């Protein structure tokens, strides 16, 4: 019988955030227990940001192939032509569910519920309390969430809510299941009920880190609930549990004068040094994977899909490159081992198009080449303190050559010259589309504040008359609100303190379109928080007895 899969991917949790990795502040008994029961990949390189890591994990492909290359400004939308872990396992007869963070598209056809996950409960965009939210109820307590594509209220702390949904899914599964639990912790803002962090304050920890570790301890408790459920249902022996994170620590979670513990690893989220990319990666399958065993081969999120497909005897897509490798031999010492000299290449930067030698790393079992210049011997110097490029010129040349071949390959994967992934409007799967600053394309200074400007790249799937509604930021004076779609404009006056306004409907033809919206308030240009487009029902005049042309 095929095993169940419980895949847990946390958000901004770094290598040093667990007690089993030496953290003296946090209490993580259930994750420490999982660590003791698992085969651990100690060189698992993830990230260095949320969307690229998740795109790799769910497709087995390098992010540049998928279009999901950054966290906002339209670059976190994955090409809908990509085939995901959910689609592959659903096709193989698995019950599939995802609960928590998706961050690969908020609109049809790129939502988790469109990409193979039959049951979903997710927040929008990259996190709660971010501009990607569809409503104003976007706090860590009682947030509005997207449930199977529909916005619904929830009740409770976000990690509790996502865990409850995952447990309900597991309890109701009648076939082998793929359950992806993707909590949005400990991502900033560091919101958690006070009862969870009071003991850290009493011990003298600063409030920022007290909240951070409290979020992790709440996560640990919730994972304990789901681990206990597997035992109570007597399915823990046939359930593969994978625990990991998307990248290293967020700079915003630092506290002045007190460093967040990360085992002295260099770098933060966004960097390609070990602190920015090394994350926990535990695989537990009782009686199949050795417990308390460390595996030091370099691994990456691209390996998760091919490994799970091989383990569950699920076929991989044959019409595209799968960049990852099957890690099962590394977890089963009696099988032929994967090549020790493996090369992983990672790159991330702001912008639409890949740029050669920009925040990149070439990683092997021994070496890491950063930005084509700095060379580190990770066996002799795992903390990356000494650049040895001048002593190993030939190694630098070899790794540069591998990088340039990789860059040429992934840069040529998409034939559309990195054109934006279009947001579908007017489709029956999502008749009411809420556009947020998460997915707009930036103008000038990239950003998503009230003062930034942007536009949305759309695909109008059905012609017709569309209702337009704007959700406004806090405005302190009277002014005007405008919307323009490919030269067709609508405007209306707004008053100080107004939070929403509906503009006159607009008739759109099918095809690509660009929408821009702005406010003029006391000679200052601001942007709306959200723009809502909703296709209006067409009127069948003949049914009402009106003659043609009449």
Active site (catalytic) residues: 50, 103
Contact 25, 271 (CB under 8 A): no
Contact 92, 312 (CB under 8 A): yes
Contact 141, 215 (CB under 8 A): no
Q: Rounded to an integer, what distance in angstroms lies between the CA atom of residue 387 and that of residue 368? A: 10
Q: Is 459 exposed, middle or buried (0-12, 13-18, 19+ CB in 10 A)?
A: middle
Tally DSSP H helices, then E strands, for the chain.
11, 25
Residue with tokens 């991330």: 348
Contact 478, 494 (CB under 8 A): yes
Element (H, E) at 328: helix 328-331
Residue with tokens 């081969």: 297
Strand runs labelled E in 60-186 = 95-100, 119-122, 144-147, 150-153, 177-182
Contact 484, 519 (CB under 8 A): no
DSSP assignment letter at 94: -
Residue with tokens 């999502």: 430
CA-CA-CA-CA torsion sign (134, 136, 140, 143): negative
Residue with tokens 């880190």: 209
């Amino acid at each position: 019988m095929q095993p169940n899969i419980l895949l847990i991917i946390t958000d901004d949790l770094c290598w040093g955030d667990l007690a089993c990795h030496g953290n003296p502040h946090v209490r993580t008994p259930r994750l420490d227990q999982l660590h003791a029961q698992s085969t651990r990949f100690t060189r698992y390189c993830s990230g260095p940001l949320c969307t690229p890591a998740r795109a790799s994990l769910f497709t087995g492909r390098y992010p540049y192939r998928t279009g999901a290359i950054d966290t906002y400004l339209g670059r976190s939308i994955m090409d809908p032509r990509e085939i995901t872990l959910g689609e592959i396992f659903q096709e193989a007869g698995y019950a599939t569910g995802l609960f928590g963070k998706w961050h690969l598209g908020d609109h049809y056809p790129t939502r988790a519920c469109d990409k193979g996950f039959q049951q979903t409960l997710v927040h929008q965009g990259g996190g709660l309390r971010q501009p990607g939210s569809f409503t104003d109820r976007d706090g860590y307590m009682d947030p509005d969430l997207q449930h199977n594509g529909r916005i619904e209220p929830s009740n409770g702390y976000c990690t509790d809510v996502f865990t409850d949904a995952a447990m309900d899914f597991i309890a109701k599964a009648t076939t082998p299941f793929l359950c992806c639990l993707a909590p949005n912790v400990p991502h900033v803002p560091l919101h958690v009920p006070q009862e969870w962090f009071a003991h850290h304050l009493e011990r003298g920890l600063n409030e920022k880190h007290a909240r951070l570790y409290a979020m992790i301890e709440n996560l640990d408790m919730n994972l304990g609930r789901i681990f206990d459920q597997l035992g109570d249902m007597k399915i823990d022996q046939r359930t593969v549990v994978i625990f990991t994170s998307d990248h290293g620590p967020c700079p915003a979670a630092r506290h002045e004068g007190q460093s967040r513990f990360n085992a002295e690893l260099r770098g933060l989220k966004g960097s390609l040094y070990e602190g920015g990319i090394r994350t926990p990666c535990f695989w537990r399958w009782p009686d199949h994977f050795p417990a308390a065993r460390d595996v030091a081969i370099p691994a990456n999120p691209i390996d998760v899909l091919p490994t799970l497909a091989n383990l569950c005897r699920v076929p991989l897509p044959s019409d595209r490159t799968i960049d990852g490798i099957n890690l099962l031999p590394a977890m089963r010492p009696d099988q032929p081992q994967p090549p020790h000299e493996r090369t992983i290449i990672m790159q991330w930067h702001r912008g639409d198009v890949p740029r050669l030698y920009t925040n990149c790393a070439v990683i092997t079992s021994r070496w890491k080449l950063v930005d084509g210049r700095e060379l580190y011997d990770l066996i002799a110097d795992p903390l990356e303190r000494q650049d040895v490029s001048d002593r190993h010129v030939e190694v630098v040349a070899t790794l540069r050559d591998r990088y340039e071949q990789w860059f040429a390959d992934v840069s040529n994967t998409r034939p559309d010259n990195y054109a934006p992934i279009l947001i579908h409007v007017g489709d029956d799967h999502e008749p009411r589309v809420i556009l947020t600053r998460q997915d707009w394309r930036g103008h000038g200074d990239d950003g998503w504040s009230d003062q930034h400007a942007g536009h949305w790249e759309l695909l109008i799937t059905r012609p017709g008359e569309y209702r337009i509604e704007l959700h406004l930021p806090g405005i302190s004076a009277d002014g005007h609100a405008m919307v323009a779609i490919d030269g067709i404009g609508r405007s209306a006056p707004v008053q100080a303190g107004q939070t929403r306004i509906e503009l006159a409907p607009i008739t759109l033809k099918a095809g690509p379109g660009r929408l821009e919206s702005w406010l003029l308030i006391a000679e200052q240009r601001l942007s709306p928080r959200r723009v809502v487009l909703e296709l209006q029902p067409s009127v069948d005049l003949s049914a009402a007895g009106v003659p043609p042309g009449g």
